[in-house]
Structure 1
Amino acid sequence: MKQDLPEDFTRDAHDAPEDPRAALDALVAAQREAFLRDPFPSWDARARHLKALRDVLFSHRDALAEAMNADFGQRSKAEVALAEFVVLKQEIDAALRHGARWMKPRRRPVGKWLLPGRAKVVPQPLGVTGIVVPWNYPLLLAASPLVCALAAGNRVMIKMSELTPRTSALFEALIDKTFARDHVAVVNGDAAVGAAFSALPFDHLLFTGSTRVGHEVMRAAAANLTPVTLELGGKSPVIIGEAARLNYAVDSLLLGKTLNAGQTCIAPDYVLLPRGKEEAFIARARTRFAQLYPDFASNRDYTSIISARHFERLQRLADEAQASGAQLHALGTHDAATRRFAPVIVTNAGAQTTLMQEEIFGPLLPLVPYDTLDEALRYVNARPRPLSLYLYADDPRTVERVTRETVAGGMSVNETLMHIAAEGLPFGGVGASGMGAYHGYEGFVTFSKMKPVFTQARLNARGLIAPPYGKRFALLIKLMLKG
């Protein structure tokens, strides 16, 4: 491992050049050349890379938490430990535990007419892969896909967010001290660098961010026919069943909505609940929020909104909804100076308001009453397919109906957010909320070419179906097509 970081690590970060594409092209070329020298790393080599990544990130836990805190203005250290480091450690540990098995070839049947030939699928590294990282969980959403890419044996380039400059610079410095740049390289810079990065001829590109930017990334990748995994967002619904435990549901939802101040792609975006239970929901939420965050104005467990622009956007969403007839039920205070935005429950928001049309990405939570489960399901299914769906119900029939009759990237029953932390579950969107998946084995597959290989036996019947085609061939075809 290289020497410790300098005190002012930002000075060693690679500044964005005037012509970002030229420097990025050179970096891709260097990584591709390095990959061709070692196109199939052994599991021992891959495990060393994963352990080195784990060691450098976890030995700088405090510095990374401080950098995130500085970028946000206030980022809960407890949340950083729980939502960034715990989930990341589980991802790395799972890859180290299972990776050797993941990379083994797997036998496949050939069908009776190709016997005694043999078939297998060989997981093969793709080559040079790209990862575009958002600002909301800058460590987890950089390192988690990196774990998958390294376990699969790839070279990796990572574009960090310019909205978290301290975290991005520190992450670059840590990666630079651990890996050669022709193996893993972090790129920092503004939107122009991001656009140039997305247009590079990667062997796979994973993007996490908004649906709007996802369109641009996919368009740029299409020029090179680069396959993409898009982790987007959208409006993740909550359905509270008619016989659900309401207090439990509210408590659970509040935990999911307040984590990172709602700045989470899978945060609950609106709640469908039985008509008439709105007041009980609001009362329970008010009581529970006060218990979770006492002395809210000075509470260090609640995270600030990332920027003044995003704070103002949330305020506009609330003001517009209120102007159109909605009622706002604030659970605490707002402070533009510190960008602390307490949750606001919204009732009677019009369907055409921006609040009900766009992903909120913050602590506003509209309530939408329904009369029957059929009505709630129609409401969800009339909208773009969400990244996540949350159901609170103990009735097996309700759980089965919602599971079968809705389509979402992922689903949790009687829980919020936790499906992303389940070691064996893939994570990804569907439709407008994304495509492809990663985490665990699915992440290994995403960053691999699962190459099919057929091996012909020395003694085989291939000659029986070769020209010239005659009676023997006709009889054989008849036999092969026989029911």
Structure 2
Amino acid sequence: MSVSSNNLELQFKALRNAYYSERFPSLATRLDRLRRIRAMLSENEAAWCDALSQDFGYRSADQSSFADITTSIKSVNHALKNLKFWMKAERRTPDLSLRMSGAKTYVEAFPKGVVGIVSPWNFPINLALSPLVSVLAAGNRAFIKPSEATPATSALLEKLIGQYFAADEVSVACGDVDVAQAFVKLPFDHIIYTGGETVAKYIMRDAAENLVPLTLELGGKSPVIVSSSADLKVTAKRVAFGKYFNAGQICIAPDYLLIAPERLDAFLKELQSAVEHTDSSQGSADSVSIVNERHRQRLENLVAEGENKEGRVIKMSGLNQSAYQLTVVVNPADEAGINGAEIFGPVLLIKTIGDLSQQIAYINQSSHPLVIYYFGRSEAEFRRVANETSSGGLVKNDVIFQYANDDLPFGGVGGSGMGKYRGVYGFKEFSNNRAIYKSGFIDVSGFVTPPYSDVFRMVNKLMRKI
């Protein structure tokens, strides 16, 4: 059900007024809200999985259970365990002269107010509720705009949020692009958006009107560096997983792979073997469909153009030899769109570049990726990648599982986003980390009030050496 601009404003006003009446929720109140998220997930798991499958055309219930339900519950459990410690004021050391006066300094996290959450379609539960965990842990009120591309899941989210939360605690606004545009123009205290770079630019423009701080979780082209020391069997198996899980519709999925020309055929052989042992083909109980025909056509167009522009296209089928395939595009010409567009599906771009310096240079010629994956045994090479590139995350000899760690920050840099959340990083991201100073028993102001003495001038010089 789509909402009008007037209703959006009424929902927002209710949240804002509730924040004004309770600016600093107690630990007990925050824990209660987090437990209600967990209950909403676990008590309605079958309904969530059914809605997800309906939206995708088909989506494995086991994958939905793991990727959307379990990961979200893990975030709740992590916050429940640690929130008491996150909320404690952090002591800071005053300047020596102030310390001698008895002054005290510390930082305390206060709620920002009302936080807007604009969530995407690829993991529509986790990417709405994982930010919600951080937002509520920090003591805020939340307003969620879920994706219109997954209408059944969005409608269920709206219904269940209404059952487990008061309208002035958490609210949901379903609707199309017009609703989304009106939503991000509201005077939030913070907005977190997960999605594409193009839409993010519009959100930044609209948020600027109200000086709303942003967390942007975008995507980009996350590369896989295959070192000369990499185990190709392990690399192929894990890259195949990254491209089949959720049908590759993941912002942290491997997008393209850099490998030495002489190792290409051996890698392709291992990749085919990995695919053959992956029963995720279309129609199997464990498969996931491309979300809609529009997105499927987009992927097909990227592959077709890559082939037309000198690329070698290889289709790899799983156990059932169905139409659901991992498609590999090798060395298309530079002007092919697949070189620049985030793929976001079961298509892998391969560029035959084997020298690490050249691989790093290739990565650095484009916008900073959300994550860089390195496969190899050399810690020295891994440190070179860390020191000579920039990305939101960096992973050695694996893919995607960095997201399963709630104690790691998640987010991008530059074109892949700004800001970090999850765990304590999410708590701080959605908090006003307030500097607090308490004066001591000596009046320091008298010391720096004219007329200035020789003692003042001496201490002024000494302070530069402390």
Q: TM (normalized to structure 1)?
A: 0.93
Counterparts of 2:333 and 2:217, CA distance in 1: 28
Partner amino acid, structure 1, of 2:92: R
Q: Is the alpha carbon distance of 1:306 and 1:297 closer, same or farther for their aligned partners in structure 2, counting shifts above 3 Å?
A: closer
User: Are 1:282 and 1:329, in contact at CA under 8 Å, matched by a contact in 2?
Assistant: no
Structure 1 residue 223 corresponds to structure 2 residue 209: yes
Contact conserved, 1:282 with 1:345, CA < 8 A, in 2?
no
Q: Is structure 2 residue 245 aligned with structure 1 residue 245? A: no
Alignment map for 1:304-319 (pairs within 5 Å):
304-319=289-304
Structure 1 partner of 2:308: 323
Partners of 1:313 and 1:430 in 2: CA distance:
26
Asked if the contact 1:148/1:438 (under 8 Å) is kept, the reply is: yes
2:222 counterpart (236, 251, 255): 236
Q: Match for residue 152 of structure 1?
A: 138
Contact 2:258–2:354, Cα closer than 8 Å, also in 1: no
Deviations 1:325-353 (A, max 9, x none): 211110129x9xx9x64210111211211
What displacement does 1:478 show? 3.1
Q: How many percent identity over aligned positions?
A: 37
1:265-304 paired onto structure 2 within 5 Å:
265-293=251-279, 296-304=281-289
How far 1:191 sits from its partner (Å)? 0.3
SS in 1 for 2:398: coil
Match of 1:205 in 2: 191
Is residue 365 of structure 1 aligned with residue 348 of structure 2? yes
Structure 1 residue 482, shift from structure 2 partner = 5.0
**1:60-99 alignment to 2 at 5 Å?**
60-99=44-83
Residue 203 of structure 1, CA deviation: 0.5
Q: How does 1:124-163 map to 2 (within 5 A)?
A: 124-163=110-149
Q: 1:89 to 1:297 in 2, by over 3 A?
A: closer
- CA-to-partner distance for each residue in 1:55-114, whole Å, 9 max, x for gaps? 011110010000000000011112112211221121110000000110111100111021
3-state SS of paired residue (2:276): helix
Change in CA separation of 1:110 and 1:439 when aligned onto 2, cut-off 3 Å: same
CA distance in 2, matches of 1:279, 1:104: 56
On the 8 A contact 2:41/2:73 being kept in 1, the answer is no
Could you tell me how far apart the structure 2 residues matched to 1:341 and 1:198 are? Answer: 37
Structure 1 segments unaligned to the other structure (5+ residues): 1-14
Name the stretch that deviates more: 157-166 or 285-294: 285-294
Counterpart residue number, 2:23: 39
Q: Deviations over 1:166-194 (max 9, x none)?
A: 00000110000011111100110000000
User: Aligned with 2:147: secondary structure?
Assistant: coil
Choose from 169, 190, 198 the match for 1:183: 169
2:371 corresponds to: 388
- Mapped partners of 1:349, 1:66: distance in 2: 39
Tell me, in whole angstroms, the C-alpha distance in 1 between the residues paired with 2:436 and 2:197: 37
Query: RMSD over aligned Cα, in angstroms?
Result: 1.6
Report whether the alignment pairs 1:476 with 2:459: yes
CA distance in 2, matches of 1:458, 1:111: 15
Q: SS at the partner of 1:343?
A: strand
- What is the aligned residue count? 462
Aligned to 2:410: 427
Segments of 5+ residues of structure 2 without an aligned counterpart are none
Q: 2 CA distance for matches of 1:467 and 1:355?
A: 68
Shift of 1:200: 0.9
Q: Determine if contact 2:282/2:324 at 8 Å carries over to the other structure.
A: no
State the Cα deviation string for residues 238-287 of structure 1 (Å, max 9, x = none). 00111110110000111011111111001110000122121122221112
The one-letter code sitting in structure 1 at the alignment partner of 2:37 is L
8 Å Cα contact 1:261/1:341 also seen in 2: no
User: What's the counterpart of residue 412 of structure 1?
Assistant: 395
| Superposition deviation, residue 464 in structure 1 | 0.8
For residues 183 and 343 of structure 1, what CA distance do their matches in structure 2 show? Answer: 43
Stretches (4+) displaced over 6 A: none
Match of 1:51 in 2: 35
Partner of 2:382: 399
Amino acid in the other structure paired with 1:394: R
